[in-house]
Amino acid sequence: MPTRQWRHTAATLAALPTLLATLAGPAAAVIRLPEPSVPPIARAELNLLTVAEPRSAAGYSRDRFPHWSTRAAACDARETVLARDGQNVQRDDACRAVSGSWYSAYDGRTLSSADDVDVSHIVPLANAWRSGADTWTDAERESFANDLERPQLLAVSAASNRSRGDQGPESWKPPLAASRCMYARAWADVKYHYRLTVTAEEKAALAEMLDTCRPQPAGEDRKRAT
């Protein structure tokens, strides 16, 4: 897509404010990551992504995406997300979460120990590498791996995150069906912002998950554009 057209489309999408939302489930299941775009915008973003075969994994390692950078008051990105996504989180002097509870949007579990919680990269680092991040600088990859401004980091159960690994939506989707709309919207947002590619199978799987989203209330899109 020509750069001028991309910038125009990006500016149009960015001008639309986002809504706060909750997942179906317990009252504690509030989505605390930056709210992904509403389904019609996420679908538009998805349709603007370049479809391509995965790039080579040669040269990839997690070390090429320096993660859990210090953010503020000696708290790194992981601890920042644990505090953001948890309930009644208490920290020690080193900013580590020592108590609290966390609702895992991937599988619907509520966890009472930070040791059982992973901070998931919605778009896994290896997937990003194979879809364009291999050409980035290490500083750009560090920014991606610690991005708190977009819906890229989410506290979930370690079991669900590790079962996913670096699989894309064509191979893995959240076991909790109510979370699949959020997951697809977040994935589309992140890939659109970073201009990463998708495979044909990945795009089809994301479109299928977006089909599970509840319809927007009448007039909601118009309200968001004003």
Among 31-35, 118-122, 123-127, 135-139, whose mean pLDDT is lowest? 31-35
Domain segments of the chain: what residues? 3-224
Model confidence pLDDT, tens digit, residues 123-136: 999 999 999 999 99
Sign of CA dihedral 191, 11, 105, 111: positive
* Exposure on the CB side of residue 106, measured as CA atoms within 13 A: 23
pLDDT confidence of 1, banded at 50, 70, 90?
very low
pLDDT confidence of 214, banded at 50, 70, 90?
confident
Among 19-33, 124-138, 153-167, 204-218, whose mean pLDDT is lowest? 19-33
Per-residue CA distances from 112 to 56, 116, 218 (Å): 39, 8, 39
Predicted confidence (pLDDT) at residue 20 exceeds the cutoff of 50: no
Contacts 24+ apart (CB under 8 A), 4-7: 6/48, 6/195
Predicted confidence (pLDDT) at residue 157 exceeds the cutoff of 60: yes
DSSP states of 20-81: --B-SS-TT-B--SPPPPPHHHHHHHHHHSPB-PPPP-TT--GGGS--S-EEETTEEHHHHH
The residue to which tokens 């790194």 are assigned: 76
Per-residue CA distances from 34 to 17, 80, 81, 134, 182 (Å): 12, 13, 11, 26, 11
- 0.85 cut: is pTM over it? no
Predicted confidence (pLDDT) at residue 65 exceeds the cutoff of 90: yes
What does the pLDDT average to over 35-56? 97
Distance from CA of residue 140 to its chain's centroid?
17
* Exposure on the CB side of residue 60, measured as CA atoms within 13 A: 16
Model confidence pLDDT, tens digit, residues 84-93: 999 999 999 9
**Residue 205 CB neighbours (<10 A):** 21
Residues 143/67, Cβ–Cβ less than 8 Å = no
Which two tokens mark 152? 């890229």
